[in-house]
A and B are shown apart, each in its own frame.
Chain A
């Protein structure tokens, strides 16, 4: 074979849709930058304990000596220094940087866990409902419509303390892990319907296609139909909806903590920090600035990446 023919041969090598999407994603500058930022965020979250060790400050440490008489941090822009990268909280004098690092960790843990749960429940129920139809489809569609009618934030706001009170008394100390579990559960209960709706629609579109009919005719079981025939054809929209669900849950957790029903005081959280900082808006704007910008950067990176992922997986779309 001549060299030229060989080159042509290589160029015509078959690529799976997944490989093509990966290639497109790697060529996309937005995807690269947002992906890098996300990786950084995840690394910081995973290495929170290591960072704490290197930084030498515990999120609960109070530096009262570095506050002035009225509880305001001394120095420039909320007490930024080489010791305290993002300054100190007014009042308690805790270090903002290390609290943000820990807040990032819990925010990501909750959002990822909730997104995985919603994806699993939504995909299973969505494919079953779409493929089998009948009463299961009716029930799933009805629940989906019903959850759409329940205003999420208000319900979550009302439900979190109620669920907590079911297991713990008024004055019992609620362990932080329980609070996290309740949040994840509430996100999962209210979040799976949108994935289910998406998957159901996709499966219904595929259900009557020839390859599905062929598989059914050759006697494939339900499991084979769902996992070998249908799912491989709809993983792209599932992946996109997953990547866009994560920032939604990050925002949701922050919003719930902001109105005071999310995580307890012992776990640092973006929302709670911002809520506390609003009181110091006039006197110490830096305290509002750092948590606000951090959560914006996190959500922005996720949104950009999700968008780029959609472009890569669906080149026809004009979005």
Chain B
């Protein structure tokens, strides 16, 4: 088990390293002049030159990258105009926001987490529940309704569902306030009521995929020999379904969930735009609009970290659920 963990963690670190090189090349080697977009319209050549100096854009690319990486690992000294010392996970200085990128991230990350984590719990419960019901009641109207629901859900666009929900519950019925973020610690009720529409629309869209996936997987598992053996041994249905079949059928759901949650944490861009909530995704969009390179890079990197971490977690869960993985 320990070796398995170590190998997985090592490969995750390697992937992150590769992603950081790739994003660095994408944003510092690809543009003709990375600074040109970073300075607002009234930027005199002198200031432009200073920004260039401070970012070390005159240095060879390898040196620039080494500096960036060093900043992440041990922190680094940025120029005077950039707030001086930048502590350990230093992702640079944003000239647009006039603050360290890590400060921006610290502000917006809780928002994205508050959107994604409850939504993920909701969509997993809903998806697995629907899949379970339709697999156990295969061929009935319940099954058809669940599958129809999930196919429709998979084809809806979040901004459309979000718009309809907003129109009905906020603007027409006035049951809910206009979506906004309130920290959970300040007021749990306002936190929930401000985000519930985002959770529901994300859950509606995502649970669709899980319902279909889980139904197919469960039906396949139920037709396997070991299930028949378990039934033949005289085990009750609930035990066969609940323990034997469920455990084997849940693994692909875990994989997809890992990918989805990772990707969603990396940027609920659409959700945040639809509901006008300022999280990581919205920050990325604004950084792109302002040409704020350090922030853009940081958001891509953070998003990648989430995906890689989620995958690592999935691998661990796999090892727990399925003993073959541990020893294979």
- A interface residues, Cβ below 8 angstroms from B: 145-146, 148-155, 157-159, 161-163, 165-166, 170, 247, 251, 254-255, 258-261, 271, 274-275, 277-278, 281-282, 285, 288, 292-293, 295-296, 299-300, 302-304, 307, 317-319
Residues B17-42 near A (CB distance < 8 A) = 18-19, 22-23, 26-27, 30-32, 36-37
B212 within 8 A of A: yes
- CB < 8 Å: which of B163, B220, B269, B307 contacts A281? B163
Q: How far apart sit A157 and B30, CA to CA, in the bound complex (Å)?
A: 15
Q: How far apart sit A299 and B152, CA to CA, in the bound complex (Å)?
A: 9
Segment touching A, from B44-52, B237-245, B259-267: B259-267
- CB < 8 Å: which of A254, A281, A299 contacts B155? A299
By the criterion CB–CB under 8 Å, are B304 and A166 in contact?
no
12 pairs of residues in contact across A and B, judged by CB atoms under 8 Å: A146-B18, A146-B22, A149-B308, A151-B304, A151-B307, A158-B299, A165-B36, A166-B30, A259-B285, A261-B288, A271-B159, A302-B155
Q: Identify whether the interface residues of A are mostly helix, strand, loop, or mixed.
A: helix
Within 8 Å CB of B163, what residues of A? 274, 277-278, 281, 288, 292
Add 8 more A-B contacts to A151-B263, A166-B30 (CB < 8 A): A150-B22, A150-B304, A155-B300, A158-B300, A274-B163, A281-B171, A304-B151, A307-B151
Count of chain B residues with a beta carbon within 8 Å of a chain A beta carbon: 56
Closest partner residue, chain A, to B161 (CB atom): A292
Within 8 Å CB of A162, what residues of B? 26-27, 30-31
Q: Identify whether the interface residues of B are mostly helix, strand, loop, or mixed.
A: helix
User: In the complex, how many angstroms separate the beta carbon of B35 from the nearest chain A beta carbon?
Assistant: 12
- B interface residues, Cβ below 8 angstroms from A: 15-16, 18-19, 22-23, 26-27, 30-32, 36-37, 151-152, 154-157, 159-160, 163-164, 166-167, 171, 212, 216, 219-220, 223, 259, 262-263, 266-267, 269-270, 273-274, 281, 284-285, 287-289, 291, 296, 299-300, 303-304, 306-308, 311
By the criterion CB–CB under 8 Å, are B269 and A154 in contact?
yes
A154-B266, A154-B269 given as contacts; is B155 within 8 A of A274 (CB)?
no
By the criterion CB–CB under 8 Å, are A296 and B156 in contact?
yes
By the criterion CB–CB under 8 Å, are B166 and A281 in contact?
yes
By the criterion CB–CB under 8 Å, are A157 and B32 in contact?
no
A258-B273, A281-B167, A319-B212 given as contacts; is B154 within 8 A of A151 (CB)?
no
- CB < 8 Å: which of A148, A159, A288 contacts B259? A148
User: In the complex, how many angstroms separate the beta carbon of A265 from the nearest chain B beta carbon?
Assistant: 15
By the criterion CB–CB under 8 Å, are B15 and A165 in contact?
no
Within 8 Å CB of A299, what residues of B? 155, 157
- CB < 8 Å: which of B160, B281, B287 contacts A274? B160
Shortest 5 CB-CB distances between A and B: which pairs?
A151-B266, A292-B160, A300-B155, A151-B303, A154-B267
- CB < 8 Å: which of B15, B30, B259 contacts A146? B15
